[in-house]
A and B are shown apart, each in its own frame.
Chain A
Amino acid sequence: MALVKPEDYSRRQQQLAGWDISIETYKLGDVYHCTISNVDPGARFARADGATREDAERLALEKAEKYLGQTRRFTT
């Protein structure tokens, strides 16, 4: 069985398009995997892979921004 260990694991929060998001990135083998989730409830809504951390995160954030732009806010 081929085993790999996740390397360079990071998880951080930031704001994107006015929303709090969580960015999880780690390297498996030669590929960086990046997942973008909303902070609450924590559902993944964008992800991307890349040869570097920067590539993976840039691509994932581009997708995330597009989806977040479709979220409407209502006056309560």
Chain B
Amino acid sequence: MATNVLVSTEWAAQHSADLGVRLVEVDVDTTAYDQGHIPGAAGWNWSTELCDTVVRDIVPVDKLEVLLGKTGIDNQTTIVLYGDNNNWFAAWAFWQLKIYGHEDVRIMDGGRKKWLAEGRDLSTEKPSFPAKVYKAKAADISLRAFLPEVQKAVLGKTASLVDVRSPQEFTGEILAPPGLPETCQRGGHIPGAKSIPWAKACNDDGTFKSYDDLLALYGAQGVTADKPVIAYCRIGERSSHTWFVLKYLLGFENVKNYDGSWTEWGNLVGAAVEKP
């Protein structure tokens, strides 16, 4: 397992104020950071700062450079991401930072849940950082699957498709997670996809499962390192978590996140939909 991409809560507590290290909280619940966060950590809002707010797309490069610069991050900074719900949106940020070529990005294993459960210090003070200049690299789109590639993979069976949504979304029983707005016209899944819900990669305390357990989890569904993998969910964030697990914890070479996901596929006119 590539442990250099994971840090423990204890490591974060010891190194949060180090020069060259920046902790950043990214939560599903965008109000959580304001309630209290790791002292010295910055907070990013996934719904406004980690996406294009006009076109449906990942964060544009110029916007990312501004965000990183004002967070006091330059190209040499070690970025440690953490967040609520098993680091769900921390993984979303990780994926985008890797697309734009940031070298040293890590995730705090267990995320906010573990930090809270351990009763560690929180602060409500929003830190300010000396601005830095950040220059992103050209986007590495090999980490991202677009619709034509997914369609080709379905027809040619050239990649393992992993649907990381809940079983009820996979079968089409529901169109969105309970309590959330529906964002698609049809329920079901992409033909040939395997159902492996994203959170199965985590232990109850929010930490990632061991290398052996993860290998067994995906291997049991035929998802192995010798075949390209495309992960998808509803809008591409849960699948970024699975992408992280497959690429960085299991070391699979060819893994892509299809961030168009079911919100794209389930709204396409004439697209094939499979239901059990």
- By a beta-carbon cutoff of 8 Å, the part of chain A in contact with chain B is 1-7, 9, 11, 19-21, 24, 26, 28, 33, 35-38, 40-47, 64, 67-68, 70-76
Contact = CB atoms under 8 A, between A and B. Distances in A.
Question: Which of B31, B35, B198 has the most chain A CB atoms inside 10 A of its CB?
Answer: B35
B199 to A, nearest CB: 6
A5 B119 contact: yes
B179 A38 contact: yes
Interface stretch (B57-65, B155-163, B164-172, B244-252): B164-172
B270 interface: no
A72 B184 CA distance: 13
B174 A9 contact: no
A30 to B, nearest CB: 13
Given A5-B122, A28-B36, 6 more contacts: A2-B124, A4-B122, A9-B117, A9-B119, A11-B113, A42-B199
Nearest to B187: A74
A4 B36 contact: yes
A40 B187 contact: no
Contact of B179 (A9, A11, A67, A76): A67
Contacts of A6: 36, 116, 119-120, 122
Nearest to A38: B178
Nearest to B204: A11
Given A19-B178, A71-B179, A41 B125 contact: no
Contacts of A4: 36, 121-124
Contact of B198 (A1, A2, A41): A41
Given A41-B199, A43-B28, A1 B123 contact: yes
B175 interface: yes
B85 A42 contact: yes
B78 to A, nearest CB: 22
Contacts of A9: 116-117, 119
Contact of A64 (B32, B120, B176, B179): B179
22 contacts: A2-B123, A2-B125, A3-B121, A3-B122, A4-B122, A5-B119, A9-B116, A21-B179, A36-B179, A38-B180, A40-B177, A41-B85, A41-B197, A42-B28, A42-B86, A44-B28, A47-B31, A71-B176, A71-B179, A74-B187, A76-B173, A76-B187
Contacts of A45: 178-180
Nearest to A65: B179
A38 B180 CA distance: 9
Contacts of A68: 178-179
B180 to A, nearest CB: 6
B178 A5 contact: no
A70 B31 CA distance: 23
B103 interface: no
Given A41-B199, A76-B173, A46 B179 contact: yes
B166 A40 contact: yes
Contacts of B182: 72
Contacts of B179: 19, 21, 36, 38, 43, 45-46, 64, 67-68, 70-71
Contacts of B180: 38, 43, 45, 67, 71
* Top-6 shortest CB links A-B: A45-B179, A40-B166, A44-B29, A42-B85, A67-B179, A19-B178
